[in-house]
């Protein structure tokens, strides 16, 4: 298949491109790395894609998107992620790169109708003390989450208009190349520097942390599946883990519990996310197989490798 991946220079996008290329698909990687929340990370990933896919620098909020619609499937991962950074001055870029970019992409796909996978987020649910199912009421508590609700509405309208769109609600993804603004990335870098781990709030928040390999697996299955237009699927590991418990696991991997430095909790950050992924299991045959200890070891190895490469590069 010929598959377009938007946000290909990002954390999730770069892994999805790797997996699609590995599976023998013809991949067009699309991104505007200067637009990224973490431009240096996206530029690094972008350079790494050169031998895997054709690359197209394109701003989804501005440029002509017709070249992206000429595909069998479009995996739309471009956007401005993050609850914390969507407040204040972050509102406008979040609206632009999430809502406007998605509206323009769906419009560009309306005539040729490739299968489209759209990235949404567990943050659309807000905080809930029970496993969340796709039909549960949405309760966005930040500009980012509200933008993702709008993205889902745009996808639903496009589906009613005949576009085969699937919405994937990703739950806290981690693993190699995790974004520098995300918790495990910040924790591991701090631990390797010998600094206390910067933790927002009291560490009692819990998340359905989901390893990127499982997220890629779900995304590729969705891109290959013939689902009814407008299908929404949770993509998350069902067992929520507290931030404290994750830090304990990290301590075991590092050979000692690291010191922690508490920071003000983030407005709009859910106290708990908890995926019910039964629908993805039924429709895609997917479950998240990677446990947190194994997944954290994988991410830690990536950070260590990055430091070695940076030292060698600097020498």
Ligand X SMILES: NC(=O)c1ccc[n+]([C@@H]2O[C@H](COP(=O)([O-])OP(=O)(O)OC[C@H]3O[C@@H](n4cnc5c(N)ncnc54)[C@H](O)[C@@H]3O)[C@@H](O)[C@H]2O)c1
Q: Which residues bind ligand X (CB under 6 A)?
A: 7, 9-13, 31-33, 35-37, 42, 59-61, 77-81, 97, 101, 119, 121, 170, 172-173, 179
Q: Could you tell me the smallest distance in angstroms from the CB atom of residue 204 to ligand X? A: 20
Q: State how far the Cα of 48 lies from the Cα of 302, in Å rounded to an integer.
A: 15
Given the complex with ligand X, which of 12 and 71 has the nearer CB atom? 12
Q: State how far the Cα of 298 lies from the Cα of 255, in Å rounded to an integer.
A: 16
CB within 8 A of 288, min separation 6: which ones?
210, 211, 214, 218, 235, 236, 237, 238, 277
Given the complex with ligand X, which of 196 and 221 has the nearer CB atom? 221
Given the complex with ligand X, which of 55 and 179 has the nearer CB atom? 179
Q: State how far the Cα of 275 lies from the Cα of 227, in Å rounded to an integer.
A: 20
Angle 243-254/183-193 helices, nearest 10 degrees? 40
CB within 8 A of 289, min separation 6: which ones?
214
Selected catalytic residue, list 125, 144, 170, 174? 144
Given the complex with ligand X, which of 48 and 196 has the nearer CB atom? 48
Q: Which of 150, 140, 129 is nearest to 271 (CA)?
A: 129
Closest residue to ligand X: CB criterion = 10
Q: How far is CA 253 from the centre of its chain?
A: 25
Q: Could you tell me the smallest distance in angstroms from the CB atom of residue 16 to ligand X? A: 9
User: Residue 144 catalytic?
Assistant: yes
Q: Could you tell me the smallest distance in angstroms from the CB atom of residue 60 to ligand X? A: 4
Angle 11-22/212-224 helices, nearest 10 degrees? 60
| Sign of the C-alpha dihedral computed for residues 21, 25, 26 and 31 taken in this order | negative
Q: Could you tell me the smallest distance in angstroms from the CB atom of residue 224 to ligand X? A: 19
Given the complex with ligand X, which of 116 and 226 has the nearer CB atom? 116
Angle at 166 between CA 163 and CA 172, to 5 degrees: 150
Q: Could you tell me the smallest distance in angstroms from the CB atom of residue 102 to ligand X? A: 9
Active site residues per annotation: 144
């Amino acid at each position: 298949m010929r598959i377009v991946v938007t946000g290909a220079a990002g954390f999730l996008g770069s892994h999805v491109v790797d997996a699609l290329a590995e599976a023998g698909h013809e991949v067009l990687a699309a991104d505007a790395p200067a637009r990224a929340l973490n431009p240096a990370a996206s530029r690094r990933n972008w350079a790494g894609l050169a031998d895997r896919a054709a690359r197209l620098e394109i701003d989804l909020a501005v440029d002509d998107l017709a070249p992206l619609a000429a595909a069998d499937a479009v995996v739309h991962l471009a956007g401005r992620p993050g609850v914390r950074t969507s407040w204040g001055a972050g509102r406008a870029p979040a609206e632009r790169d999430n809502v406007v970019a998605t509206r323009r992409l769906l419009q560009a796909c309306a005539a040729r109708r490739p299968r489209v996978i759209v990235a949404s987020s567990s943050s659309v649910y807000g905080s809930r003390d029970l496993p969340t199912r796709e039909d549960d009421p949405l309760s966005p508590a930040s500009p980012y989450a509200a933008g993702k609700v709008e993205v889902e509405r745009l996808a639903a309208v496009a589906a009613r208009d005949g576009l085969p769109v699937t919405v994937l609600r990703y739950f806290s993804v981690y693993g190699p190349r995790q974004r520098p603004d995300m918790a495990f990335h910040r924790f591991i870098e701090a631990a390797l520097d010998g600094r206390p781990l910067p933790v927002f709030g009291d560490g009692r928040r819990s998340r359905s942390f989901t390893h990127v390999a499982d997220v890629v697996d779900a995304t590729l299955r969705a891109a290959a599946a013939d689902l009814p237009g407008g299908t929404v699927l949770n993509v998350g590991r069902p067992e929520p883990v507290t931030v404290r418990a994750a830090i304990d696991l990290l301590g075991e991997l590092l050979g000692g519990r690291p010191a922690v430095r508490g920071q003000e909790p983030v407005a709009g950050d859910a106290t708990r996310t908890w995926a019910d992924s039964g629908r993805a299991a039924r429709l895609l045959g997917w479950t998240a197989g990677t446990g947190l200890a194994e997944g954290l070891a994988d991410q830690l190895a990536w950070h260590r490798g990055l430091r070695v490469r940076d030292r060698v590069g600097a020498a």
